[in-house]
Amino acid sequence: MSRNNDGWIMTAQCPGRLGTVDAVTGFLRENGCYITEQNSFDDRESGRFFIRTEFRPQTGFDSQAFEAGFADRAAAFDMTFGLTAPGHRVPVVIMVSRTDHCLNDLLYRYRTGQLAVEICAVVSNHRDLESLVEWHGLPYHHLPVTADTRAQQEAQVWQIVQQTGAELVILARYMQVLSDDMCRKLAGRAINIHHSLLPGFKGAKPYHQAWAKGVKLVGATAHYINEELDEGPIIAQSVEPVTHADYPDDLIEKGRDIERVTLARAVSWHVERRVFLYDNRTVVFGR
């Protein structure tokens, strides 16, 4: 899941038509850029084309001149594009409640350089994890919330996101439902993680419900948030088999393992510009 983070990344999308790949690769060749990784996808259902290219300039590189030059070519294809510099670390805010497994995993990967992120702040509606976050030298914002104070609390959260310049908000087992207004503000830039059990079990103690039904798979889903609870565009999913010998506590432990790996994978793909969001679906060039 770690990345070298030593190349430029170019992402683009446009209506699917003849010459879209060449529009990107030809321009890179003309500008003396060596392609180190490339993924593309033409979605025949939506008629959209998506491409992600990592490249390494062979000579001096002026990113502003490069973008200005490519803009002319992109216009001919009605193409939108983005360019990410080597070493870019995406500023993030993490939201969490009391459960620490996903937060712990993200902090470890951040500390060891496995994730190309810069954690600007951790926000929680409880104080339980304050000492853990402060041990990592990171700001911790305790913002309690009730049904009556949700609007004011979310206004504080939004202020932190704006002040830190966070490009991504990670809900690392934040056990509060965000308002529709907050979901709209964070559309395409907030990732949530939750358990995935078949059949679905909602409410209290889902793993106990799953055990009572003899479930043979536990899993996790990481997705962008939207106004529909736990139904946003999916980025990553994982499953693991369980047996009759696994009791509720075993299911919970395995579920937590899957949750932290799946969340880290989704965050990694997002910050590496591997995820394209279009029409409430995702195109994911995973690795």
Q: What whole-number distance in Å separates Cα of residue 88 and Cα of residue 9?
A: 10
pLDDT, tens digit (0-9, with 9 covering 90-100), for 58-88: 988 999 999 999 999 999 999 999 999 999 9
Q: Can you tell me the mean pLDDT for 235-259?
A: 95
Task: Please identify, in words, the CATH class of the domain defined by 8-84.
Answer: alpha beta
CATH 3.40.50.170 in the chain, residues? Answer: 90-284
Q: What whole-number distance in Å separates Cα of residue 104 and Cα of residue 112?
A: 12
Q: What whole-number distance in Å separates Cα of residue 190 and Cα of residue 172?
A: 11
Question: Closest Cα to residue 239, out of 210, 278, 274, 213?
Answer: 210
158 CB-side CA count, 13 A = 15
Task: Say if residue 14's pLDDT is above 70.
Answer: yes
* Residue 34, both tokens: 């060596």
Phi-psi region of 273 (alpha: psi -120 to 50; beta: other; left: phi over 0): left
* Residue 193, both tokens: 């993680």
**Model confidence at 204, in pLDDT bands (50, 70, 90)?**
confident
CATH of segment(s) 90-284: 3.40.50.170
CATH 3.30.70.260 in the chain, residues? Answer: 8-84
pLDDT, tens digit (0-9, with 9 covering 90-100), for 144-172: 999 999 999 999 999 999 999 999 999 99
Task: Say if residue 236's pLDDT is above 50.
Answer: yes
Residues 210, 218: contact at Cβ < 8 Å? yes
Which entry of 43, 128, 230, 250 is annotated as an active-site residue? Answer: 230
| pTM for this model (two decimals) | 0.94
Q: Can you tell me the mean pLDDT for 110-132?
A: 96
- Which residues on adjacent β-strands are paired with residue 178? none
Q: Can you tell me the mean pLDDT for 129-152?
A: 96
Catalytic residue list contains 257: no
pLDDT at position 3 is: 56
Q: Can you tell me the mean pLDDT for 174-202?
A: 91
Q: What whole-number distance in Å separates Cα of residue 202 and Cα of residue 200?
A: 7
* Residue 229, both tokens: 């609870």
Q: Which of the pair, 6 or 92, is modelled with greater confidence?
A: 92
193 three-class SS: strand
Q: What whole-number distance in Å separates Cα of residue 285 and Cα of residue 268?
A: 11
